[in-house]
Structure 1
């Protein structure tokens, strides 16, 4: 019986762990006949909770973006930027007044291009400074992180499962130990009573109690504590905080707060219109400052009103294309932002209670379901055990 109880303890834990994460999508007949992993089923709530922790305690967008050197960014993207400037200039001129561009002296064409190209890096530097100073106006970091985790539920699973792998192993293995101990008690009770109700009741109790106790032992006590003067215990998750910090920082920097994701959020997120307004304004200033060399030719040929339209079109096209050139500064940005080390350092400074909140929300609200499943499985195995022994 103790060995059967140990098996019950282990199996119920493994089932509970798998039910937390699998299946990623609902399997069965909605709304009640079927199952979806606890984390994927509550992806938005879990993602929002994790993001709140991340953005409140670990990552300050203004701080990390201040690490970018605007002049260095402009230098990194100089080659693609100059190409964009030339393409935009030619496209606008050929669209509005192709004949004028053709008859414009080559020297005048080149002078215009050179002047605008020379000013472009300075314009980018100004734009980057403005973005860094007003990052909350163009980037909604919370929205970006939540959207990515909700869209990619497998990523949310990995975020929790990868950093808590030792804790999951502890839950499963503890079921064997606790189950065996309770199985010894079960054997004594069965020996004296031979009651058929003993085995399913103990099975149910073993499934419930071992699940409940294992979950508690992951997080509690938060500080090392000596029990009965014999044994010191600290929650498994708390005890591993340095390794958890490293793993969590790696995953966030590698898969969530990445330069491509940040660019995507800035360019296409809910605040992207503010970025394009910012770029358009700066591009128009640059055009005004540098187009004076050909303005008399163009204004005479197309009229002042038409010239203003050309300028606005050029600014709009540039606002669409210039941000894409920032991707060429990705390697520099990854090193400069240093998201991974920032998260690791901040995590190590969290209080035990704050640190617990990284993983605890994944269990707290729905842990009763996992415990209940463990109890039901334990009860069924106990009933099967009773049938075998009595027949």
Structure 2
């Protein structure tokens, strides 16, 4: 019993003797927790391009031999493919969406193209062109119906989305940041509180353990644990779960399904699957453009020259069509309503993959930074960076005697 009291008395004495040093431990741990989590978030999205020495860099791998590229920019292809598969597989039917277009309305919007082709290319008088415009209008209307029936062969949604993400690797990151804004803030800020609580434990251990390396090891644990705890808190549990009489509890991201559905659908409809980008894909993708040309040629009585001319002029006249197509396809409400109906397990897959890809790397990076911060705490506690097991032993010399001192007995 007396030994236990003596241990606590010794700890109390240590605290009184260096209370400023020990008070700094949870404060520094709080900063370490915040900073490691902040850095983890930055490492997910930045830098867009690889920064470091190009000694060993692999496509799709963020970490090089000496350098780093953001997880999302590095894995843009893989992530965007998974995302577009989710969109086309669970959220919308391409055939059903394009079926909403009114062929006669699209033909009406493209009527100016008929006059342009007739006047500028064939020098056909305007009166003659106008006289037969109804015929070409019928052809265009019938062609739109053909497009609707064959839209899968004419529009490769997967390639359209993935190519955009690869051309602008920041775009996918912006989508994830918009959808997970609150979760990313939580991931950063929670490090402050988790770090402080773990720092209090770290301080208590330092009072009872005489090894200064407990601070560095503790710092590594703080950096590891704050990242791990925050990531778990965001996505676990997936389904509402009661713990005894408490709850139900659910991951923070899962509780915001309606809000995230709104953000995701709005961003996707306004920045990714727009009429302009869909038609660009149809007309420029080598596979789909060939199908588009053949379908058009059939409607133009087999005339390759006429089909070539229409394809050439079409991009100059689509500006009139895009507003109507964007409005009529109604991708934003379609995506939103479908996403709101997703199960929790399905919805968790919307954001979690960006963390899963290199979750272990992020957690280990936090541990390393925490360990380095612990060295700072060790320096504060000991006054120097000392490796006790490497410390050289020096031979003690006898004390020097003042001059004229009597010889030692």
Give the alignment's TM-score, normalised by structure 1. Answer: 0.85
Of 35, 38, 49, the residue aligned with 2:82 is: 49
For 1:263, the equivalent position in structure 2 comes to 279
Residue equivalent to 1:221: 237
Match in the other structure for 1:297: none
1:205–1:378 Cα contact (<8 Å) kept: yes
Query: 1:86/1:322 Cα in 2 relative to 1: closer, same or farther (>3 Å)?
Result: farther
- Structure 2 CA distance, aligned partners of 1:66 and 1:110? 33
Query: Could you list the per-position Cα deviations for residues 149-190 of structure 1 after superposition, in whole angstroms to 9, with x for gaps in the alignment?
Result: 111111111011111110011111211111111111111111
Q: Choose the corresponding residue for 1:60, options 83, 88, 93.
A: 93
- Residue range with higher mean Cα deviation, 120-129 or 46-55: 46-55
Aligned with 1:388 (options 372, 380, 384): 380
Rg larger in 1 or in 2?
A: 2
In the TM superposition, what whole-angstrom CA distance separates every residue of 1:333-368 from its partner, at most 9, and x where no partner exists? Answer: 111000111100000011111101111111112111
2:398 maps to: none
In structure 1, the partner of 2:28 is: 4
Name the counterpart of 2:129.
Answer: 113
TM-score, with length taken from structure 2: 0.82
- Residue 39 (structure 1) aligned with residue 72 (structure 2): yes
Q: Tell me which protein shows more helix as a share of its residues.
A: 1
Q: CA deviation at 1:191?
A: 0.6
Q: 1:207 to 1:228 in 2, by over 3 A?
A: farther
- Kindly tell me the number of residue pairs found equivalent between the two proteins: 349
Contact 2:297 2:307 (8 Å CA) reproduced: yes
Pairing 1:125–2:141 present: yes
Q: Is the 8 A contact 1:138 1:271 kept in 2?
A: yes
Matched, 1:16 2:40: yes
| Alpha carbons 2:223, 2:370 under 8 Å: kept | yes
Residue matched to 1:82: 115
What residue in structure 1 maps to residue 332 of structure 2? 340
RMSD: 1.7
1:280 is aligned, of 297, 309, 334, to 297
Q: 1:118: Cα distance to partner?
A: 2.4
Structure 1 residue 242, shift from structure 2 partner = 0.7
Q: CA deviation at 1:228?
A: 5.1
How many Å separate the matches in 1 of 2:153 and 2:169? 28
The corresponding residue for 1:308 is: none
> 8 Å contact 2:175–2:264 — kept in the other structure?
yes
| 1:88 and 1:314 in contact (8 A); partners too | no
- Paired residue secondary structure (1:34): strand
Alignment of 1:82-101 (within 5 A): 82-90=115-123
Please give the residue correspondences for 1:154-173 in structure 2 after superposition, counting only pairs within 5 Å: 154-173=170-189
What is the CA distance between 1:389 and its match in structure 2?
0.8
2:4 corresponds in structure 1 to: none
Q: Which has the higher contact order (CA 8 A, sep 6+)?
A: 1
CA contact (8 A) 1:49 1:361 kept: no
Higher mean C-alpha displacement, 125-134 vs 316-325:
316-325
Deviation, 1:312, is: 4.3
Q: Does 1:28 align with 2:52?
A: yes
Structure 2 unpaired stretches of 5+: 1-24, 57-64, 384-409
* Equivalences for residues 137-176 of structure 1 within 5 A: 137-176=153-192
Distance 1:192 1:336, change over 3 A: same
Provide the residue aligned with 1:314 in structure 2.
Answer: 306
Residues 190 and 199, structure 1, Cα contact 8 Å, conserved in 2: yes
> Per-residue deviation at 1:34?
1.1
Tell me how far 1:210 sits from its aligned partner.
1.3
Gaps of 5+ in 1: 94-108, 286-310
CA distance in structure 2 between the aligned counterparts of 1:189 and 1:351, rounded to whole angstroms: 44
1:376 equivalent in alignment to 2:368: yes
Q: Cα–Cα, structure 1 residues 341 and 9, in superposed 2: closer, same or farther, change >3 Å? A: same
Q: In structure 1, what is the equivalent of residue 357 of structure 2?
A: 365
Q: For the structure 1 residues 129 and 375, does the alpha-carbon distance in structure 2 shift closer, same or farther, using more than 3 Å as the test?
A: same
